[in-house]
């Protein structure tokens, strides 16, 4: 009945071409392109300025104070993957540090998104291994209880299936279901193509009120100007 | 009965000379000069290192998940203004991003203080558009419900009247009522003029205990030294 | 019955040689070397990037909104000390700024750890005076009520005795009891000596599963691989 | 420049007839009648089940850890008043207990709303003195620093002027400006008169979709039913 | 690409016999019977003492400050259902009150679990309509933006599919996937059948150390008794 | 170097006569009698209305998600003890439920204070076993890692030595060091003897301003009455 104690080896990763294309866009744009869905909660923050990642999810379900499954996950990493770690309860211990980062990086991982804590932040920055976490915490963890690898998890409020695309930058973390990767990338591209023109208009002093034709609906809604 | 659905066009802005003078001082100094009042809550943080702003407030009252009034506010901005955005409830969605920043900047705005979330943080830094917010969140917003512009608002615990001076730096955000702008600037100047001498004394090893003549009141309060 | 209103002048500081040695290690390593104990809660954060400190604790027990005891503490600082400030209740006011930092630095202090707020953060960075705090807050404090100096305090969840060693970096803050300073430093050294080899193996692609011989205990615990 | 150290004796209280009428309605209804404004933040909670109050505000601005102004406020209380206590910073100490409650009750106060902590909760319940607070905390306070009485304050995110009507029940706390008391009471009455009929219809199985004629706008917005 | 704007009418509800059986057990027992999975986060609390519910999930995805979809959901309720409401972002407004409760109850709903706020708490208790929420908040909501009904949602950290069984009591809220309902109910029954004997032993003074045979593994782990 | 993996069997409990006397006073009174020290943080709350306890501390240091040490602690309980449970990190799992409560009660324990979560709250109330906790959470825990019993712990911000007296009621939790038990009880008695007279005066309408002779110091501090 439980999804604990399981490692799924064969997962269907999103198409690499679509993943690369998704990596060209910011998280805010991708979230809009998905119809304003797919975001993790904003308490996940990059552990160093400039961190940014895009890749296919290898998921981990951790137990509180225990990072055993991180080592199990390492073996499942393929180049281009991002590890997404959830926990069976709220816990901010330092599940991850420079040794695991070295191992993940050696396997080709592009970063980590974790609904928990990490440590060795200076080393992570030096290594160029991007991490988005709930906390920075030196607290060490044990290796005693089974969780799972590559099961569906909820990480910071978002559902992540193994193989989904995860993109993270300073604005947040977004999950794109593997099957929608190409369509979302295309929608993002279209969306962004409109932005340059809008930006230029706004920069020239045109108001959004006029550019988006808002004056009429605002008046219809009852907006009153007073002096 | 409601203050929703209103845009006040003519507001009385603090005297520009006083505003410029206020801009020379740090937030901590200004807050002291006001008798230790006027601070917003410390959960407002600069979205990038080095952000700093000083200007006259154009206020916005937002609805949760809705940034329609930001566009209405844009039209009310005059050079030297700072937009101060409150919300009718607690909400950390990304009400503001690089397009609105482009528009605000084109109108002459000096920055944004918002009791909510913003996105496109890297672009905001590149543009040099300072923002102090409660959260960084990629979550997009809609344009469906009226709030107000240039009404009195409570932003992060502080009352802000349109035209008040708002100063923000790494230490926080302070609101100086328009009518007190010159007096507070003068008090801050006086206060700061004393600080150099104090700093020099303390740097030379003189103790605050002696400089501030605290030994006697401490003894009177019953302080006991033991070995 | 109370420990308020007391200043202890003669405290037993940890051996300076051990302190210097402790300063060579990161907080995560030291916490592991102590058997995974001694950490303060992770809400304490450096007020500027790159802050790091190691020294012997001069402790202060503050009252809410009152930094009188900071001035009393200044006199008790000896070169190599770190001030550790607790409060009788939760309070995030700005108990500390550049003037006190100037005084502390003149006395030879190596930094401050405070379960409360501080201000003048830009100046602290310019001075190179490292501070780890719960909040950044411009809110000023008064000088009216007695606390204590050099009594045992609880700071961010950790017990600190005057003279204990406090080490802080980006990963957190750890307290090493004075009597254990040398032993913890030695244990940290030993621990770190193993890390280089482990890192090299992991970097070469060896898995933690194999390096730590985890496959058998994982199987014994019931881990199942599925396709 | 400061509003600290001031006690305003003559305040204009809302019309008692309107106050009594406001007291007949729940907080949710009053907030709706005001156009969905005037609520304090929901972290304010009744300290005992069944607490409920309605009265005119005597405001207090406290300093952290200091309840001196509560005694000053007691003298300003008239029968039918509610004390509304704000603080110059966030602080959850126990500013108020059974002795002050005895004094306030003797003066005719109908309760307390406080953006801070209180204690002696069992006694408050026995006395029938309703309190809505941010915290329950046994922590005692001192009497050392001036705040103010009957100045405009921000309490739990809402602006309160002395004399405004404050109504609190299990759903929250709402502030009705004195000048709007009668109009809001009338609007609430009208609103409530519609509710009985609506409730009866819904209880009989009529759907809100039909009663509020939502099907058409939902379809226009693009809602799709699938099987 | 989006799951917004959708109402799924035909959902597969868990077997009613299994649902009734699940309703006989406490949340803690059911969570254990599922292998320690399925719990929502503990910030969800009953809005009145004694609230308890068990039923099949009709799910709702709300927009911040908007309860339009609640009315759409009402039509999809069948007797024995529990409405589970998630939101596209964090928002504690009062999405639900006594009118909607009347409608839901008329449709046969057994209660509501909502990752947001509710109001009219006294009426909900009088009606005997159990609600588990993140907040109690009088703040009203609008009807302007589409969400969805009967899509998979994340509510308070747990995945809920329409038709899953949701059980809530004072200890928390647990989700049992529809397909596992009978098996979990059986496992809970077995688990509970052991508890009576254990309880009797412990009540008689037998120690868990002996009943669970922990002394040997504790010694093996290195536990030391000192005097 | 570590205090993990230790059970201290012989502890010095506070004098039972003093403990009984302490049990007659409320937490607020005891905290005042100690010079306003000794309180745990106010996030600890009784799990049912009316819970109250007083006894000598048997301390437990737990690991996150692990309640093994609770069983070890049970054996160390003597009639009149209260178990005080801390954790090596922040964790709100349900470390304690009705089975452990049955065991603790059989050993003569008077209740539990825990910086974590508990479950089976309805049963705890039925058993009359008072618990003060940080959270109510159905989440089960494992038995895998050693903590300690009867070492000094920090629980919710307060230092607790085994044998200290712990008193808890609706206002909070206070720790009285064993050696001070009699003196604090006496001071509380003296303090309370004054309260009746004060209460009577205040009830008769005498103001605290006059009873405590505050008018002069308020004027000296600069308080201004305006009309």
C85-137 pLDDT tens trace: 999 999 999 999 999 999 999 999 999 999 999 999 999 999 999 999 999 99
The answer to whether B85 and B109 are in contact (CB under 8 A) is: no
pLDDT of D154 higher than 60: yes
* Chain A residue whose CA is closest to E61: A37
pLDDT of res. F2? 67
Q: Which long-range contacts (CB under 8 A, 24 or more apart) does E191-194 make?
A: E191/E29, E191/E32, E191/E33, E192/E25, E192/E29
Write the DSSP string, E180-202: GHHHHHHHHHHHHHHHHHHHHHH
The DSSP bridge pattern shows strands C81-87 and C153-155 to be unpaired
What average pLDDT score do residues D44-50 get? 97
In this predicted structure, the answer to whether residue E1 has a pLDDT above a threshold of 60 is: no
Q: What predicted TM-score, i.e. pTM, was given to this entire model?
A: 0.98
- Given an 8 Å threshold on Cβ–Cβ distance, is D5 in contact with F199? no
Give the closest of B89, B137, B144 to E145, CB-based: B144
Task: Give the pLDDT confidence of A119-162 residue by residue, as tens digits.
Answer: 999 999 999 999 999 999 999 999 999 999 999 999 999 999 99
Residue among F157, F175, F188, F191 with most chain C CBs within 10 A, to mutate: F157
Judge: B74–A208 Cβ closer than 8 Å, yes or no: yes
Compare CB distances from B106 to A204, A222, A225 and report the shortest one's residue: A204
What does the pLDDT look like over D55-69, one tens digit per residue?
A: 999 999 999 999 999
- Report the candidate in E170, E164, E133 with the shortest Cα–Cα distance to residue E52: E170
Q: Is B226 exposed, middle or buried (0-12, 13-18, 19+ CB in 10 A)?
A: exposed
Return the pLDDT at A3: 78
> How far, in Å, are D11, D23, D100, E64, F205 from residue D56 at the CA level?
10, 11, 18, 33, 20
Nearest to C40 by CA among C25, C50, C51, C30: C30
| Residue B104 to residue B112: CA distance in whole angstroms | 9
For residue A216, give every residue at least 6 positions away whose Cβ sits within 8 Å of its Cβ, in sequence order, or none. Answer: none
CA-closest candidate to residue B221, choices C68, F191, C162: C68
In angstroms, what CA-CA distances link B224 with B172, B216, B219?
36, 12, 7
Contact (CB, 8 A) for C209 and A71: yes
Helix H or strand E segment including A50: none
C2 band by pLDDT with thresholds 50, 70 and 90: low
Q: Average per-residue pLDDT in chain F?
A: 97
pLDDT digits (tens, 9 = 90+) for B82-114: 999 999 999 999 999 999 999 999 999 999 999
Within 8 A of F45 by CB-CB distance, chain D residues are 136
Rounded to 10 degrees, what is the CA torsion of E132, E135, E136, E141?
-100
Measured CA to CA, the distance from residue D25 to residue E72 in angstroms comes to 29
Minimal Cα–Cα distance from D68 to chain F, Å? 9
Chains E and C touch (3+ CB pairs under 8 A): no
Give the C-alpha separation, D87 to D59, whole Å. Answer: 11
pLDDT of residue E2: 67
Alpha-carbon span B63 to B87, nearest angstrom: 6
The HSE-up count of residue B205 (CA atoms within 13 Å, CB side) is 4
Q: What HEC string does B11-71 produce?
A: CCCCCHHHHHHHCCCCHHHHHHHCCCCCECCCCCEECCCCCCEEEEEEEEEEECCECHHHH
- With cut-offs at 50, 70 and 90, classify the pLDDT of residue F3: confident
Rounded-to-integer distance, Cα D103 and Cα D99, Å? 6
Per-residue confidence (pLDDT) for residue E3, from 0 to 100? 78
**Spatial contact of D83 and D55, defined as CB atoms under 8 Å apart:** no
Is-contact C87 F37, C-beta < 8 A? no
Please say if the pLDDT value at position C1 is more than 90: no
What is the average pLDDT score of chain B? 97
- Cβ atoms of B54 and B82 closer than 8 Å: yes
Close Cβ partners of D172 (under 8 Å, ≥ 6 residues apart): D27, D28, D31, D39, D40, D42, D44, E119, E136, E137, E138, E139
| D95 vs D62: CA distance, rounded Å | 9
Does pLDDT of E141 surpass 70?
yes
Q: Which residue has the tokens 């058998």?
A: C216
Contact at CB, A37 and E2, closer than 8 angstroms: yes
Instruction: Give the bridge partners for E27, in sequence order.
Output: none
d(CA A201, CA A208): 9
Residue F1 has pLDDT above 70, yes or no: no
What is the pLDDT, as a whole number, of residue C3? Answer: 78
* Cβ pair F1:C34 closer than 8 A: yes
A touches D, CB cut-off 8 Å, minimum 3 pairs: no
**Taking a C-beta distance cutoff of 8 angstroms, is the pair E113, E82 a contact?**
yes
Contacts of A144 in chain F (CB under 8 A): 142, 144-145
Q: Which of E64, E92, E139 sits opposite B65 (nearest CB)?
A: E64
Q: Report residue A14's pLDDT band, with 50, 70 and 90 as the boundaries.
A: very high
At C101 the pLDDT is: 98
Q: How confident is the model at residue D3 (pLDDT cuts 50, 70, 90)?
A: confident
Q: Report the relative pairing of strands D158-160 and D153-155 from DSSP bridges.
A: antiparallel
Residues of D with a Cβ under 8 Å from any B Cβ are 1-4, 33-37, 41, 88, 90, 152, 154, 157-159, 180, 183-184, 187
- The single residue listed with the structure tokens 């044998």 is F163
pLDDT digits (tens, 9 = 90+) for C32-42: 999 999 999 99
Q: Over 90: is that where the pLDDT of E136 sits?
A: yes
Contacts of B60 (CB under 8 A, 6+ apart): B69, B70, B72, B73, B83, B84, B85, B86, B147, B148, B149, B153
Tens digit of each residue's pLDDT (9 = 90 or more) over B155-188: 999 999 999 999 999 999 999 999 999 999 999 9
Instruction: Give residue C42's pLDDT.
Output: 98
Residue F12 Cα distances to D28, F8, F55, F158, F192, angstroms: 55, 11, 13, 19, 28
- Note the pLDDT tens digit of each residue in F33-87: 999 999 999 999 999 999 999 999 999 999 999 999 999 999 999 999 999 999 9
Place of tokens 């479950």: F119
Helix/strand number for chain A, H first, E second: 8, 12
Chain D residues within an 8 Å CB radius of C90: 91-92
What Cα–Cα distance (Å) separates residue D54 from each residue in D59, D181, D195, F80? 14, 12, 22, 45
Residues of C in contact with F180 (CB under 8 A): 1
- Could you tell me which of B224, A58, B35 has the C-alpha nearest to residue C5? B224
* Dihedral Cα F170, F175, F180, F184, nearest 10 deg: -20
pLDDT of residue B111: 98
For residue D72, give both structure tokens.
Answer: 């000053």
- A163-178 average pLDDT score: 98
**Using CA atoms, how far apart are residues D138 and D117, in angstroms rounded to an integer?**
8
Q: At residue C141, what are phi and psi to the nearest 5 degrees?
A: -125, 165
Res. D91: pLDDT tops 70 = yes
pLDDT greater than 80 at residue B2: no
- Name the neighbours of A, counting chains with at least 3 Cβ pairs within 8 A: B, C, E, F
On the question of pLDDT at A1 being above 60, the answer is no
The pLDDT, as a whole number, for residue A152 is 98
Residue D1 in this model has a pLDDT that exceeds 80:
no
The minimum CA-CA distance between D227 and chain E, rounded to whole Å, is 5
Calculate how close chain D gets to F99, using CA atoms only, in Å: 30
Identify the band that residue D2 occupies on the pLDDT scale cut at 50, 70 and 90. low
Q: Kindly state the DSSP code that residue B221 receives in the 8-state scheme.
A: T
User: Residue F132 in contact with residue F113, Cβ under 8 Å?
Assistant: yes
In sequence order, the β-bridge partners of residue F55 are: F166
Q: What is the ipTM of this complex?
A: 0.96
Do B and F touch, 3+ Cβ pairs within 8 Å? The answer is no
Rounded to an integer, what distance in angstroms lies between the CA atom of residue E42 and that of residue F155? 20
D54 vs D50: CA distance, rounded Å: 13
The angle at the Cα of C55, spanning C54 to C57, to the nearest 5 degrees, equals 130
Chain F residues inside the 8 Å CB shell of D79: none
* CA nearest to E48, candidates A130, D49, D107: D49
Token pair of E124 as six digits = 């909900």
> DSSP assignment of chain D, as one string?
---TTEEE----PPPHHHHHHHTTS-HHHHHHHTTS--BPPTT-EESSTT--EEEEEEEEEEBTTB-HHHHHHHHH--TTEEEEEEESS---SB---HHHHHHHHHTT---EEEEEEE--HHHHHHHT--EEEEEE-----B--S--EESS-EEETTEEE-TT-EEEEETTEEEEE-GGGHHHHHHHHHHHHHHHHHHHHHHHTT--HHHHTT-HHHHHHHT-EEE-
Mutate one of A42, A216, A217 to test the B interface: name it (highest B CB count within 10 A). A42
Give the per-residue pLDDT at A83.
98
In angstroms, the separation between the Cα of residue A73 and the nearest Cα of chain B is 29
Encode pLDDT of B47-82 as tens digits.
999 999 999 999 999 999 999 999 999 999 999 999
Structure tokens of E221? 């782990």
Confidence at residue B3, expressed as pLDDT on a 0 to 100 scale: 78
């Amino acid at each position: 009945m439980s999804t604990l104690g399981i490692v799924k080896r064969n997962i269907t990763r999103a198409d690499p071409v679509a993943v690369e294309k998704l990596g060209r866009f910011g998280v805010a744009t991708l979230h809009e392109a998905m119809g304003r869905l797919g975001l993790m909660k904003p308490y996940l923050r990059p552990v160093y300025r400039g961190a940014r990642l895009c890749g296919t999810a290898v998921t981990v379900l951790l137990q509180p104070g225990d990072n055993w499954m991180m080592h199990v996950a390492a073996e499942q990493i393929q180049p281009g993957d991002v590890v997404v770690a959830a926990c069976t309860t709220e816990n901010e211990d330092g599940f991850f540090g420079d040794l695991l980062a070295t191992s993940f990086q050696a396997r080709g991982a592009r970063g980590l998104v974790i609904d928990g804590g990490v440590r060795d932040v200076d080393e992570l920055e030096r290594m160029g291994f991007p991490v988005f976490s709930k906390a920075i915490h030196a607290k060490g963890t044990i290796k005693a209880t089974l969780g799972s690898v590559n099961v569906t998890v909820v990480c910071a409020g978002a559902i992540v299936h193994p193989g989904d695309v995860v993109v993270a930058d300073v604005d947040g973390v977004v999950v794109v279901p593997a099957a929608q990767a190409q369509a979302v990338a295309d929608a993002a591209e279209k969306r962004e193509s409109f932005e340059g023109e809008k930006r230029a208009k706004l920069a020239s002093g045109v108001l959004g009120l006029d550019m988006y034709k808002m004056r009429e609906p605002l008046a219809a809604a009852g907006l009153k100007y007073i002096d």
